[in-house]
Amino acid sequence: MRHLMSAALLAASIATGSSAMAQTRTLEVIVFAGASAMPIYVAQEKGFFAKEGLTVNVTATPSSGFQMSNLINGKFDIAGTASDNMIAYQEGQGTAAVQGPVDLIMVMGGSSTELALMAQPSIKTIGELKGKQFALDSLSTGYAFVLRKMLQKNGLQPSDYEFVAVGGTRERLEALKEGKMAAALVSEPFTTQAKNAGYSFLGEAVSSVGPYLASVQITNRAWAKQNEAAMVGYLRGLVNAIDWLYDEKNTDEAVKILAAKVKISEAVARPSVIGVTKGQAALAPKGALDVAGLRTVLAVREEFSDAKKKMGPPEKYYDLSYYNKALGK
């Protein structure tokens, strides 16, 4: 990565006649570690950010509350997160304390998600989860409501179980391994780890709700306006990374990148990388934002949020002007 960045900065210096270092802008980005962050990992390692004059520092968040509060409060510039997390905090329904007004926007889409309900090996059906505890990231953001919908369709009501906030996917899997929880929602590559360890796969949660916009890139509206060049360059880097991921000749290298970033074996990483371009959790080509999937997110939040607040319209939550400029539109 260092060599790639140096080459890109040297080229910029030669082209402009200015100092290479003067062309570099550092961005702080916070993500959930895993397959959904693959475009960011690739853009780092393949020099797509460096080509834009950007150094992107990536932090793996332990939870959505930590991620959202620190983004809103200005510690981070951009976040890769679940669209529902952004909507919850925008609507005053987040669980973590924030300072000042919230004015967030989605600036790029991503994917739906593979979101597996994994349970202790002795549990073989959803019905057996009655009276049990589930490990989630948050009780009212992310995928909590998607899981409620899944359980509802299988005959379980909220009084039949308990949700416990334990953090991100890695933390949820650890809670399962430690025997603290009966079940947990898990995404790749941790789903493959859980299956390989003998935990029971009880189904895909998102299949219960239909098309669903999961991963998105978000930021504070004021930050994007004040840092337009950096915002556009960041998104252009991600688009180039997605194009790279869709080229099958890059699969083996992508596997190595994910394995190194998330500290897993290449055997575990491979299904996740394949899923980035194929299947339910595939990235939208060029990271397009799925408005129909966003409508599903809003409908599910309206149904299950305690506030019972009317959401939307979808356009309220995104600004694609920076993304369109990244595409040259």
Which residue intervals of the chain bear CATH 3.40.190.10?
2-112+212-326, 116-208
- pLDDT tens-place string over residues 184-218: 988 888 888 899 999 999 998 888 888 889 899 99
Name the band, by pLDDT with cuts 50, 70 and 90, for residue 142.
low
Least confident of 43-57, 124-138, 140-154, 178-192: 140-154
State how far the Cα of 84 lies from the Cα of 218, in Å rounded to an integer.
Answer: 11
What are the distances in angstroms from CA 315 to CA 290, 294, 320, 326?
Answer: 12, 10, 10, 19
Least confident of 10-19, 49-58, 264-273, 319-328: 10-19
Is residue 226 over pLDDT 60?
yes
Is residue 5 over pLDDT 90?
no
Q: Which CATH superfamily is domain 2-112+212-326 in?
A: Periplasmic binding protein-like II (3.40.190.10)
Is residue 22 over pLDDT 90?
no
> 0.95 exceeded by the pTM?
no
- pLDDT tens-place string over residues 26-64: 999 999 998 889 999 999 999 999 999 999 999 999 999
Q: What is the structure's pLDDT at 293?
A: 92
Q: Who contacts 64 (Cβ-Cβ below 8 Å, separation ≥6)?
A: 81, 82, 85, 95, 96, 137, 138, 141, 142, 168
Q: What is the structure's pLDDT at 145?
A: 87
Q: Which residue has the higher pLDDT, 164 or 21?
A: 164
- pLDDT tens-place string over residues 280-314: 788 999 999 999 999 999 998 998 887 778 888 99
Q: What is the structure's pLDDT at 305?
A: 83
Is residue 73 over pLDDT 90?
yes
Is residue 19 over pLDDT 70?
no
Answer whether 182's CB lies under 8 Å from 132's CB. Answer: yes
Among residues of the chain, what percentage have pLDDT more than 90? 67
What are the distances in angstroms from CA 209 to CA 152, 153, 157, 214, 310?
Answer: 11, 10, 16, 12, 18
Q: What is the structure's pLDDT at 190?
A: 87
CATH code matching the domain that covers 116-208, chosen among 1.10.1200.10, 3.40.50.300, 3.40.190.10, 2.40.50.180 = 3.40.190.10
